[in-house]
Amino acid sequence: MEIKRKIYDRIVDWKEQSKGTKALLLEGARRIGKSTVAEEIGKNEYKSYILIDFNKASKKIREAFDEINNLDIFFQTLMLEYNTRLYQRESLIIFDEIQKFPKAREIIKYLVADGRYDYIETGSLISIKENVEDITIPSEERKIKMYPVDFEEYMDYIGEDILMEYIADCWEKKVPLDNKMHSKAMHFFKEYLLVGGMPQVLVSYMSNARSFDDADIEKRDILNLYRDDIKKSAKRYNSKVSAIFENIPAYLSTHEKRIVLSEIDANGRFDKYDEPLFWLDDSMICNLCYKCNDPSVGLSLNKNESYVKCYMGDTGLLVSLAFNENEITNQNLYKQILDGRLALNQGMLYENVISQMLVAKGRKLYFYSRYSEEKHRNDIEMDFLLSNESKTNYMINPIEVKFSKNYTTTSLLRFNELFGNRVDNRWIIHPKNLFVDEGIIKIPPYMLWIAL
């Protein structure tokens, strides 16, 4: 059974809107399914398609890109080599792993200007950026970011789409779920949190009778691919990138969850680590969340780059990274986490998966904290801040993530006292059912995707 990806419809929109005037570049981290969805588009939306995988492309195919002055010969070579007929305005050409052959990206402008066919480019985002120094970046290109499988896609894949429709209906009516349905939805959300949203991992998990062992093996393979990317691509600062990457679970396990450079580098300063952090963010392996010093006048305007949290782009990968000392995280260990019987910082996982959801919705990540000299600790902590993105009536939505059923709202109330004139909705994401209490919207994590 295939995983139905929402990005499919966005690509169809590109096809219908651009009508051959723009190529499409699918940006995203490794192993999130870019090539798969591009090929599905070719099969379903075109009369024919050719996929050129530059990991495997023959010498003749590579040499064909030197004949770009004669496009008739170029297209004829492709048709002969791939034994596929191309039809004007009815065929798609996919440049897969385009970072392996930058010349193909450079000539996109000529292929688009020719107008005969449509073009989709896929590849590892950070490798694409590393390999464009000596080429002209085509302006005839539209970019779409692709993320891991989200919870809604996950539920559809495991056959629980009716439950998701019920959740959406409850949100629309602002009523809680039936208690049994809430428990069922929370179970599936915890399962998603542990397995994650990497397509190959999901397929392995479901095709092997929900085996966490098989899922974990796939996740560790992906983590090793990321480590290889760091060694190869983050040339000048791979040791710094690697140090941050390997310590993400440790950072997120602390109370403040932010990066403390002194723990990995005695002389570490953020002005020395800005490029490694940007690399991790650009790679889409990680999602950075910056402190906003004064939310009342804008989030990005008051970004503090010395206070940053680093979340994993996929929460399932975070679970496997957290147990890195084990060669494999076994089935029983996963089940103990699923049942809440293992002393693990679940707050780390919940906060990470919420960050993942927000980024997939196109949101930049910001948080807020205030240190109390009197108490010698933070007396206000907002895990995430969202703006309504209005230029005329700017408002903010503070979000607190609570993994325990027992909690206080003190921090949220204090935040409201400070910035109440700029606060729109106040949110708490918790494991309990939906309810609104004194103007605070309290929702279970499985509902956030619909509520945003």
Percentage of the chain exceeding pLDDT 70: 95
Residues shown for the chain:
452
Instruction: Describe the crossing of helices 179-195 and 212-233 by its angle, rounded to 10 degrees.
Output: 40
Residue 332's pLDDT is: 83
DSSP state of 348: H
Q: For 174-190, how does the pLDDT look when each residue is reduced to its tens digit (9 = 90+)?
A: 999 999 999 999 999 99
Residue 163's pLDDT band (cuts 50, 70, 90) = very high
- Whole-number Cα distances in Å, 172 to 389, 416, 434, 442, 446: 23, 25, 11, 14, 14
Q: What's the fold here for domain 7-145? A: Rossmann fold (3.40.50)
CA–CA distance, 287 with 264 (Å, rounded to integer): 19
Residue 343's pLDDT is: 61
Lowest pLDDT segment from 106-110, 191-195, 386-390, 444-448: 386-390
Of 108, 98, 96, 102, give the one whose Cα is nearest residue 134: 102
Q: For the chain, give every domain's residue range.
A: 7-145, 151-451
Place of tokens 């990066």: 259
Contact 285, 29 (CB under 8 A): yes
H helices of 208-282, in order, are 212-233, 238-246, 248-253, 270-282
Q: What is the mean pLDDT of the chain?
A: 91
Token readout for 301 is 């305007």
Note the pTM of the prediction, 2 decimals. 0.93
Place of tokens 């990138």: 241
Residue 389 buriedness (CB in 10 A; 0-12 / 13-18 / 19+):
exposed
